[in-house]
Structure 1
Amino acid sequence: MITRLLLRDARLQTGPVVDELARRVARPKSTVQSYSNAEFDQIKLAAQRRFRTALRRIEDNARHLQRWREGAFAKDGRDWVIGEALDILARGEDLPQYVDKNGRETLVVKYRKALGGAGAEATWQRLFLSRMEAVALGVLLLAEYGWNLSVIDRAETPQASPDPGEDGHPTYRIPLNKPRRGVGHHHETRNVTDDGAASQGRLITQALQATRFARAIVEDLAPGTNRLVVWHAIRVSRESMDWDRHPPVGGFHFGIDTAAARTWARAEGLGGSPFRRGRRTVIAVDRREPGQHSQDTHDRQYVLIDKRVQADAVEVIAAGAQDAANRAREAILVAELRDTPNPRDTETATADCADYDNSPFPAPDGGCGASFLMCLACANARVHPGHHPRLAHLHLALANLRSALPSAVWEADWGEAHTRLADLKNKLGDGVWAQALSRVTDADRDLINHLLTGVLDT
């Protein structure tokens, strides 16, 4: 960008400076590496432990509040007072306080005694996530969906499908905001279904349950805010000076920033923020497919530079190379090419055999146990111009079968034979092969038809 700006100056458009400005400088490669399985499992376990504890707490108190609203408790009993306190919090109001003799605001005794204290754990955390619990939710969203921190920070509330189907399982439409993708590509949507504990949509259901009271209050105070990750601050703070972030609404904040992620990691006894390395782990190692980016970015920025992927690929590449070599040896033409037939050889459907009794594919009762298609893979076979027409026709017939059969079936039954014939065609040349096709007789067609239909096997 600076180069383009400098080149607008007429004094910098001639001479050696032009060559210097034209020199391309490679973008520095990322030094971020993926986690090991053990490291990432530890991070996910820490996030699950913190978030699920919060979810159970909020669900237990939600049930208590519902029972209070249904009149299930005797008035002024401890359970009734707890229910009343929860109702006050759920409406977005502060619990009643008084000024003690030291001039400090203190929760009134009735609620302090029933709730078991006046701290955050005993009061507002009964219905709302804390900052660290919100980060734990963010880590789980990263692990489940591969979202980066900016996407999680701005994630909007997913909407359940209006017609979830007869099974009643909700399908969530998740709007995603990806600022760095460029103009016209900032927004996309994903659909996930909650059809069980192991399904992708279950985490969305849990996130909505854990934030439902907070989101309801925020919607009353600032309609249209529509953020998924909402948490309650310990104290009401002034409006954030980070203009890229959504400002707080009352005591509620939205999303996750890097500072919160680092604080969470320290509290859990981990290293720095888990989001960059965690996303690389999910995208490059676990899924091995692009997230909210192109295939080219996935390959260059995630896969090729990751040392764990490189290490894991060694055995795969070696095994693939060995398999390719084995298949190449199996599928090349082994039969000997001759200009003329030998009267002592035995004719088969695809070649002549020079030593039937000493076959590399012996039958249990002696002789040769191979099919006629395997003749081209046998060193005892001899192929001369008299075989060319029928073999050219066989090559064409196998190609036609390819369009009529499932790929796996065709590959298993005919793939190697077709490859050997392609090798023969390559050795003979296109001119000889074209002449062979022009000389195919009805007898050749019948012979190949019998070969492909199994008549010759009997």
Structure 2
Amino acid sequence: MSGRGRKASLPPADFHGPEPLGSGGLVVAVSNRAGHHRPFDFAQLPIAEPFQRSLAALFAQRSQVWTSHASAQRTWNQLLAFARFLAALEQPPHDLEDLTPAVLKRWRQKNIGTSPGRNTLTVVRMLLRLDPRMQTGAAAEELARRIPATQSNVQSYEPAEFEAVRSVARRQFRAALLRIDENTQLLERWRTGELDVNCREGRLGAVLDHLARTGDVPRRGSHAVNRKLLGGNSWPSTWGRLFLSRIELVSLAVLLTAEFGWNLSVFNRLPAPRATPSIGETGTLTYQVEVEKRRRGANRWFSTEYITDSGADSPGRLITQALEATRHARVLAGQLAPGTNLLMVSRLGAVRRRHSNLDQPRPVGPLSLGIGYNDVTAWVLAHSLPGSPFQRVRRTTVVEQRQPLQHSRSTHERVYVLPDQRVQHESQEVIAEGAQEALALALDTAFGGRLAERYEPGHAETVTADCAGESASPRPTPDGGCGASFLLCLACANARVHPGHHPRLALLHQQLEALRSVLPEPVWQARWLEHHLRLDDLRGKVGGGAWAAALDRTTDTDHTLVRLLLKGDLNP
């Protein structure tokens, strides 16, 4: 459906998309989401030509589900490693059917010990098993062997590290925002006619107007005057007056990731947020942000988040600042390429540089759309950081917010929370307290007495057990007796249970289970759960077979006493 609700036009009935595998059988053209093609030449693999053709066919089949060239490149790298392994064998296989279990075992042993190796095993196995020749036989059985799941080594930042990275990004972006705001105010004064065209501010306003309309300051004619007027030829003195540089845009992306937990890939397709009315509130802005995360699975790529700017400390203030910093770039991009409405727009430093990352939106005139890996690398080097911060910043944000962000609850717990060393360290006291509580509960609901083979003289008989020492009762009465309920006898260390007690206790256990079916669950748990758990523990000590057989030996007396126990008539 189109945005206005009309059905999209269908292609002709005889339409066929481009075949990824070329006529020569060795070159696979992979299309990304934007429709750009990238060739992968399997003739470059150091294996026999029939094997090259087989892998090319499997690669082409698998490419139908990819939406980015990055996915294809990762698989290509794994296949290249596999091909080099095969080429180093004493007798390299000629084609897929020549792969023996021994070769596959050597390939497995080579990679199973490391996390990158297990990733390689998984990718290559998935591809090979698409071929019918690798779906039956001894080699197929070897391929089917389980590969241990790979755990990510990425950990969240410690609080001090997280704040240091965020401070670096905040300083750079804030400086850029102040620079753009100052020049924007001057530009608006010039456009409203407040400035004399002959004064310095008026001449500077004219230059800024030209910059806003074209993406650059005038470079000819009055160039020498403009250089003196602008204060130099460097980018902060020229086009940087109204546009973010690509490295400054990375700082903004780091801040957005730290605030909202967005992936780096989100920024290449993030539309400019739209302000929506805030009902009943004044002085606030609520933004509607459409987030696209393609790795969530089919039909779950898109989500809408509502973020409110209610003051300097609110999350929405960063959205407001991002819109202000990219305002001129977004307007110019919409004029040069109508329909362009992305938030993350910056100015290219080298306008004529070749665009090689086809997964990132193509530049529009002098403007760069989205964020590429080269931009992140330049940002990391400029600030002397140990690697890209995006994965660790996102993980830190997810861990701190204690809730899923653009992923499922199971992914949140399995991938982000449980493997995180910081969470594990911070949870030690909580886990220890929980274990102590569980132990205390188990002790409270466990059979506290001893099993005996027969009645021992001197022990007092109770309804549920024999008592080895009424005078040492944990619940003594003023006269020196025991004030505990007969149901609590089984929790006492003085209790002795012999086979003569088994029928009555098995009957009591059965009757408690029957009560559970007729009482509301909260009522049953509050009244009977503790006694039921204690009888469960005793049954485990006696043995399931003996416990079941004891039910056949119950007497009328047993039934009467159990009924009185459950009615509470035998309580002290």
Q: TM-score, normalised by structure 1?
A: 0.71
Write the letter of the residue equivalent to 2:170. Answer: Q
> Which shifted more, 336-345 or 59-68?
336-345
Instruction: Give the Å deviation of 1:30.
Output: 6.6
Matches within 5 A, 1:68-79: none
Cα distance change of structure 1 residues 375 and 443 upon mapping to structure 2, 3 Å threshold: closer
Partner of 2:173: 51
Q: Is the 8 A contact 1:395 1:421 kept in 2?
A: no
Matches within 5 A, 1:24-39: 24=143, 26=147, 29=150, 32-37=153-158, 38-39=160-161
Gaps of 5+ in 2: 1-53, 62-92, 102-136
**1:118-142 Cα shifts (integer Å, max 9, x gaps):** 5432343333211111011121233
SS of the aligned residue for 1:189 comes to: strand
Instruction: Give the Å deviation of 1:220.
Output: 1.9
**1:245-304 Cα shifts (integer Å, max 9, x gaps):** 212112211111111111111111212222344445555x54676655567766776667
The number of equivalent residue pairs is: 435
Partner of 2:256: 141
- Higher RCO structure, 1 or 2 (CA under 8 Å, sep 6+): 1
Partner of 1:377: 491
Matches within 5 A, 1:417-432: 417-424=531-538, 429=547
* 2:281 alignment partner, one of 167, 174, 177: 167
Write the letter of the residue equivalent to 1:220. Answer: Q
SS of the aligned residue for 1:53 comes to: helix
Instruction: Give the Å deviation of 1:68.
Output: 5.3
- Sequence identity, in percent? 39
Q: Is the 8 A contact 1:34 1:278 kept in 2?
A: no
* 1:125 alignment partner, one of 226, 233, 240: 240
Q: Is the 8 A contact 2:287 2:307 kept in 1?
A: yes
**What is the distance in 2 between the residues matched to 1:364 and 1:76?**
107
Cα distance change of structure 1 residues 130 and 395 upon mapping to structure 2, 3 Å threshold: same
Q: Is the 8 A contact 2:465 2:490 kept in 1?
A: yes
**1:83-105 Cα shifts (integer Å, max 9, x gaps):** 555444444464445447xxxx4
Gaps of 5+ in 1: none
Instruction: Give the Å deviation of 1:217.
Output: 1.7
Cα distance change of structure 1 residues 380 and 134 upon mapping to structure 2, 3 Å threshold: same
* 2:142 alignment partner, one of 23, 44, 55: 23
Partner of 1:108: 226
Write the letter of the residue equivalent to 1:224. Answer: G
Write the letter of the residue equivalent to 2:280. Answer: E
Are 2:448 and 1:327 aligned? no
Write the letter of the residue equivalent to 1:446. Answer: K
* 2:368 alignment partner, one of 229, 234, 253: 253
Partner of 2:328: 213
Instruction: Give the Å deviation of 1:46.
Output: 0.9
Q: Is the 8 A contact 1:389 1:440 kept in 2?
A: no
Instruction: Give the Å deviation of 1:23.
Output: 2.8
Partner of 1:234: 349
Cα distance change of structure 1 residues 203 and 377 upon mapping to structure 2, 3 Å threshold: farther
Instruction: Give the Å deviation of 1:29.
Output: 4.5
**What is the distance in 2 between the residues matched to 1:194 and 1:214?**
24
**1:208-266 Cα shifts (integer Å, max 9, x gaps):** 23222211221122122222211112353345133222121122111111111111111
Partner of 2:65: none
Partner of 2:68: none
Cα distance change of structure 1 residues 249 and 330 upon mapping to structure 2, 3 Å threshold: same
Pairwise CA RMSD: 5.0
Instruction: Give the Å deviation of 1:188.
Output: 1.9
Instruction: Give the Å deviation of 1:367.
Output: 7.3
Instruction: Give the Å deviation of 1:44.
Output: 1.8
**What is the distance in 1 between the residues matched to 2:490 and 2:530?**
10
Are 2:272 and 1:157 aligned? yes
Cα distance change of structure 1 residues 71 and 269 upon mapping to structure 2, 3 Å threshold: same
**What is the distance in 1 between the residues matched to 2:448 and 2:404?**
43
Q: Is the 8 A contact 1:173 1:189 kept in 2?
A: no
**What is the distance in 1 between the residues matched to 2:322 and 2:480?**
71
Cα distance change of structure 1 residues 335 and 358 upon mapping to structure 2, 3 Å threshold: same
**What is the distance in 1 between the residues matched to 2:180 and 2:420?**
40
Write the letter of the residue equivalent to 1:46. Answer: V
